[in-house]
Structure 1
């Protein structure tokens, strides 16, 4: 056999067939695969995207400040703006920095200024996207304010943060502020059903409801949970979602609280122990679910007020480093004693 034929055989053996390529595609991260490419595709914020589309249509973009919780479309909206403004050249005209990794004043002085100064053609301005801008130090924010003034003729800034109150006032006053709230349940349910259909995954109604509940307004969390649950079996149902996300069912949380309020501390503690030990939930997650679900419980107003007062105190103590199990048991014990 000639060397050419031998090499050809080796190449043929190394190349995957179509079935292998299709199966490999299932390994792709769905939050990236289904990330919206345009503002029209961004779900759950019609009022915000309508205003942003007007900026893009007029090619008249101000400095922007996006604030809101994780997974609600802030970064996606910034990238979509760049893609619609610059087309195929968007990566050359869009600089993305994560301020939580690069928090110092040198980042503002060096990378941002170098990008803002660099020459480019075909567009009147470029975009610098600064993610998690509330992690910048005060000195870095002051330097950024000066940079925004210095390069206002050829650079636009999009700042993304979780808490706009951590952004200094001089920067806030130079930006059009958009506040992204948690994504609505209907939008999350619609998107998860769409992705499931695209991937050929069967979902049940209670499975979709569980995805919506576990996501709590975070689209990224919902899509990640869908992908993880899809690996567990042919059907994504409630059991698969709650297992993969380590989330307690609302009825389990309600049962635990109800037992405590009725004075049966032993039963309440048993439910808590199951959540912490068998389901592996963190104490902070249980507190979050309590806070989210308390108004859906069949409790009178007085009991809800007592519960919320104790939830706030326990949340603070756990945040400060107290033992989660001890604090949660103390919460249940106090509810049981108050009933007596």
Structure 2
């Protein structure tokens, strides 16, 4: 009883021992580093292969020559780029801005407004005017000379209202010392004359088939994509000189046929092009003169999921190549196709509009 009771130390399980506690976090951290490696960020090929310099722009030799001299002399006028979509208008001015201001000053010196932004008269009066009023210095962090002005890029400016364009004209006139403007549009006729007279106008031509084929083949080599030459030619034919659409379709069909050779059939499935035998079958049914047979054929074609607008375009090209039809008959057919195309854009019923067009074709064929 005289002996003091000795308190026993609690037994700590092995799983909570210091050695285990000290070693487990390091092991788990190492395991997390190994297991949670960041995957490569997937970038759309349109952005990945966008020209980084003005000299990389394809097929627009006149525009590249003039812009190169402007960059060398730092004399940059107000610009107006117009032409079909996918010909390099936005890529050209972005590449020129990167060369002019460098990566450090690009965000501070360039303001870009595209079709997704609101560009009414209030935006021109407030946002653009406020950006254009501030002056900048002619120095860069890397020591290269930088011109003392900023750049405003207005993409799809042919969708701006007349009032907004009039307000923009006044801003371009007053802030010419501190800001340059680059307007990009598809239709120059929708730009008011006071703006076009203040800009140096450049037309971007549709890209030739050889240029697009070379660029697509280079992308296939870099991305390890196996593609038949006929498939690339068909892809160029479907896009009609639009480089952006061609690169996008190529990436889509490459994801669709991973580790496989891309064929012409795969291109047709991605682009939505209707096979020639379907077009020829519709034309032969119109030759028969049977309304019931035509109605059944059109219904079956639409049930296959083919787009009516694409069907109308390919029927137009097929009828245009028919030598048996006279010019007067083709004129009547194409006039009806224009009316049907407008109705389809307004949201009319596809079956009724196609039947209206094909009945006109049948009537003209039966006359012969």
* TM-score (norm. length: structure 1): 0.88
Partner residue, 2:36: 15
Matches of residues 121-200 of structure 1 in structure 2 within 5 Å?
121-122=137-138, 123-200=147-224
User: Radius of gyration: which is bigger?
Assistant: 2
Partner residue, 2:344: 318
C-alpha distance in 2, partners of 1:262/1:50?
58
C-alpha distance in 2, partners of 1:175/1:153?
15
Partner residue, 1:284: 309
Are residue 333 (structure 1) and residue 359 (structure 2) matched? Answer: yes
C-alpha distance in 1, partners of 2:206/2:290?
36
C-alpha distance in 2, partners of 1:159/1:207?
36
Partner residue, 2:129: 113
Secondary structure of the equivalent of 2:256? coil
Secondary structure of the equivalent of 1:158? strand
Alpha carbons of structure 1 residues 204 and 105: separation in structure 2 relative to 1, 3 Å: same
1:56 to 71, 81, 87: 71
* TM-score (norm. length: structure 2): 0.82
Structure 1 unaligned residues grouped into runs of 5+: none
Which shows bigger deviation, 125-134 or 68-77?
A: 68-77
Alignment coverage as a number of residue pairs: 333
- Post-superposition offset of 1:60: 1.6
C-alpha distance in 2, partners of 1:260/1:323?
20
Matches of residues 168-317 of structure 1 in structure 2 within 5 Å?
168-233=192-257, 234-250=260-276, 252-261=278-287, 263=289, 272-278=298-304, 280-291=305-316, 295-296=320-321, 300-302=325-327, 303-317=329-343
Which shows bigger deviation, 134-143 or 285-294?
A: 285-294
C-alpha distance in 2, partners of 1:213/1:74?
21
1:76 to 88, 91, 95: 91
Which shows bigger deviation, 306-315 or 77-86?
A: 306-315
Q: CA RMSD in A?
A: 2.5
- Post-superposition offset of 1:71: 1.7
C-alpha distance in 2, partners of 1:99/1:287?
28
Alpha carbons of structure 1 residues 208 and 263: separation in structure 2 relative to 1, 3 Å: farther
Q: Confirm or deny: 8 A CA contact 1:99 1:136 kept in the other structure.
A: no
Alpha carbons of structure 1 residues 297 and 237: separation in structure 2 relative to 1, 3 Å: farther
C-alpha distance in 2, partners of 1:182/1:290?
24
Partner residue, 2:109: 93
Q: Confirm or deny: 8 A CA contact 1:263 1:335 kept in the other structure.
A: no
Which shows bigger deviation, 203-212 or 177-186?
A: 177-186
